[in-house]
Homo-oligomer: A and B are copies of this chain.
Amino acid sequence: MASKDRILRQKEETRSNILEAAYAIVKEDGWQGLSMRKIADKIEYTAPIIYEYFSNKEAILNELTGKGFIKLAKELQEARDKFEKPEEQLEAMWMAYWDFAFTDTEMYQVMFGVQMNCCSDRCSAAEAPYKLFTAVIGEIMKNSNPTDEVIKQKYFTFFSVIHGLIAINIINKSEIMETINNQILKDAIGGIIKSIQ
């Protein structure tokens, strides 16, 4: 029967409703303010229903985290595809990374445990940004025949500086660091790119 399909579609929809409701609550009240009962309220059900779609609260966080990594990866790709030269690509990618962190701050928090006790098990999508970045870094360095280890190291150098700066900004979000952010971003990214060419 076709009703089977409709029911399956409906189930899939409430599943995604749960995720949407959860993230909406987080954007209103922060990760601290997220509770199963609040999610249930928002989707007009009672709390136990959620457990037919997710085994527990952590599973919801994990799925949101996964979605976050997919969105980040997509934005990194789009940034990359706007340029031809790998140096320009890399700079655009880190800028996209930066933008993601401040457009979807709550996502960034759960993905990287900023002011938030985040998901324990790394989801598979978490690898995507790493692969995108190292591919471009490898392209820039191809003349010096770098090992994977060297590329990985360069990647983590970038990552440290950007993630550190993002984390500081999220925590002391009161202080205005606009000019300092721009300076450091420009200096650090530019500097490291120069150092690996």
Contacts and interface: CB of A to CB of B under 8 A. Distances in A.
Interface of A is mostly: helix
A15 interface: no
A180 B153 contact: yes
A59 interface: no
B167 A152 contact: no
Interface string A112-129: 111111100010000000
A47 interface: no
A114 B167 CA distance: 9
A35 to B, nearest CB: 14
Interface string A163-182: 11101101110000101100
